Amino acid sequence: MQPRRTRGFTLVEVLVALVVVALGLTALMVAVNGTARTSGFLRDKSLAQWIALNRLSEVRLNVTKFGQNTDTGELDFGSRKWHYDTRYFDTSIASMKRVVVRVYLGDAKAKGNALAQAVGFLGSSLSVPGSTTVDWTSGVVTAGVPGATVPGATVPGTQPGTGTPTPGSPAPPGTPIVPSPAPSPTPPSNP
C-alpha cells in the first residue's frame, strides 16, 4: 500500500502568489500616492489663486497703499504661509496701470515658481458707466453724456452729431420697450 498524498499548494506556488500580490499592492500604493500628491497640488493652486484675486481686489479698492512699481507681502491662509509679489506696469493709457499679482508657497525667503498669477487693470474712471463710448486703443472719449450733442461724435444707434436714434437700430438704454402686437394667424388655404 502506498502512502496517501495530501493535496495542497507547494512552497513555490505560495511564493509566486505572494510575489504577484506584492507587485499588485505596490502598483496600488504608487497610484494612491500620485493621486494624493495631485490633490494636494490642486488644493495649493486653488488657495494661491484665491489669494491672488483677493490681493487684486485690495489693490483695486486701495485698501492697502501700494508702492511705486512693486509691492510684496506675506500672509497665513489655509493653515499655510504664503507670499505675494504685486507689480504695476504702465499701459498705453496714461491713467491706467496693469497690475500683476504672483503668489508663492512659503515665506518671502523661499524661492520657486509662482503657483498662481492674476492680472487686472487699475485706473481712474473715465466716465459714468454707460454714458460714453471710449476708444480703448487711444484712451480718447468719443461721445458725451446721453442727450448732449458732440460735434462729429457718434454714439452707436444714433445719427452722427444729433443723438437721434437711427431707424431700425436698437433703442438706447433707458428707453421703454413696447412690444408689437403679435401677428394674427392666417387661415390655411384649401386647394
Domain range list for the chain: 13-141
**In this predicted model, what pLDDT tens digit does every residue of 18-71 receive, in sequence order?**
999 999 999 999 999 998 888 889 999 999 999 999 999 888 887 555 556 788
Determine the Cα–Cα distance for residues 157 and 150; give it in Å rounded to an integer. 15
Q: How far is CA 15 from CA 29, 66, 72, 155, 174, in A?
A: 21, 68, 60, 85, 83
Q: Is the pLDDT of residue 182 over 70?
A: no
Instruction: Give the pLDDT of residue 45.
Output: 93
Q: What per-residue confidence (pLDDT) applies to 133?
A: 61
Label residue 131 by pLDDT band (50, 70, 90): low
In CATH, the architecture of 13-141 is 2-Layer Sandwich (3.30)
Q: Which of 39, 33, 49, 125 is nearest to 82 (CA)?
A: 49
How many Cβ atoms are within 10 Å of 103's Cβ, its own excluded?
A: 27
User: What's residue 84's pLDDT?
Assistant: 93
pLDDT of residue 129: 61
The pLDDT score that the predictor gives to residue 151 is 43
> For residues 68 and 66, what is the distance between their CA atoms, to the nearest angstrom?
7
- pLDDT per residue over 132-165, tens digit each? 665 556 555 555 445 444 444 444 555 554 555 5
Q: Which pLDDT score is estimated for 63?
A: 54
Round the average pLDDT of the chain to a whole number and report it.
75
